[in-house]
Amino acid sequence: MSLSRLIEEAIDKKLRAIPQTLLCTVESFDKTKLTATVKPLYKSVDKKGKEIDYPLLSNLPVMSGYFGNNISIMPTFKKGDLVLVACSTFDNSKQKKKQSAKESEGLFGLENSFIIGGVKPTTLTDRDMSVKFEDDKINIKNKNTSINMTSDEIEFKNGSSVSIKLTKTKITFKTPKGEYNWDTHPHTGNLGAPTSPPIVGS
């Protein structure tokens, strides 16, 4: 074997020992502490060629959507969920407490990993809970119930047969028995004494 080939294999071996991201399955999730124990879906090979499972990674911090002012979107993982784990360059034990510290000697240690988020292995189904941002519309869905919001209207739907749509000029109720419309208008009179009643459509 040539010298260049030996050097290439040695470098490749070193690079394989530096994990950056890993796909893992959730073993347990603590929704109060926002930590999880996960199982990497990879095997390493020892000097004798024997495959060895990666160890469980315990109490890894789980990233959440935090927007300041105590506003958060919190994840809820269950056992078996697929997640993507990122391995930090240095030890983060002090940085997690907002403390500065000297960079550690060990690089990309698995114990310094974070869970970036969940990975959906299949397409979304009608039974999934989701929040979608599409163009100028926000859709919030919980099984058969959904809320669709744009800058001009809000629509509440329960299945395909019942819905309520609110716009600046109209309220629409849709039921299996029919559709009912209420036209709205600006209020110009004193409270309790509008200048005219709403116009009820059919």
Residue range 131-187, pLDDT digits in tens: 777 777 888 888 788 888 888 899 988 877 788 888 888 888 888 888 888 877 655
pLDDT of residue 4 exceeding 50, the answer is yes
Is pLDDT of 202 > 50?
Answer: no
- Report how far residue 179's alpha carbon sits from residue 171's, in angstroms, rounded to the nearest whole number: 11
The residue segments making up the domain with residue 50 are 3-118
Question: Which of 75, 91, 118 represents a domain boundary (last residue)?
Answer: 118
pLDDT (0 to 100) of residue 98: 66
Question: Is residue 123 domain-resident?
Answer: no
Maximum pairwise Cα distance, the chain: 96
Residue 110 main-chain phi, psi, to 5 deg: -60, -30
* Domain end residue (candidates: 118, 151, 169): 118
Q: What is the percentage of the chain residues whose pLDDT exceeds 90?
A: 12
> Residues 6 or more apart from 107 whose CB is under 8 A from it?
18, 89, 90
Is pLDDT of 83 > 90? yes
What are the tens digits of pLDDT across the range 88-106? Answer: 776 666 555 665 666 555 5
Give the C-alpha separation, 117 to 114, whole Å: 9
pTM above 0.75?
Answer: no
Q: CA torsion sign, 12 to 16 to 20 to 23?
A: positive
One domain, residues 140 and 69: no
The more confidently predicted of residues 173 and 123 is: 173
Is a pLDDT exceeding 80 seen at residue 40? yes
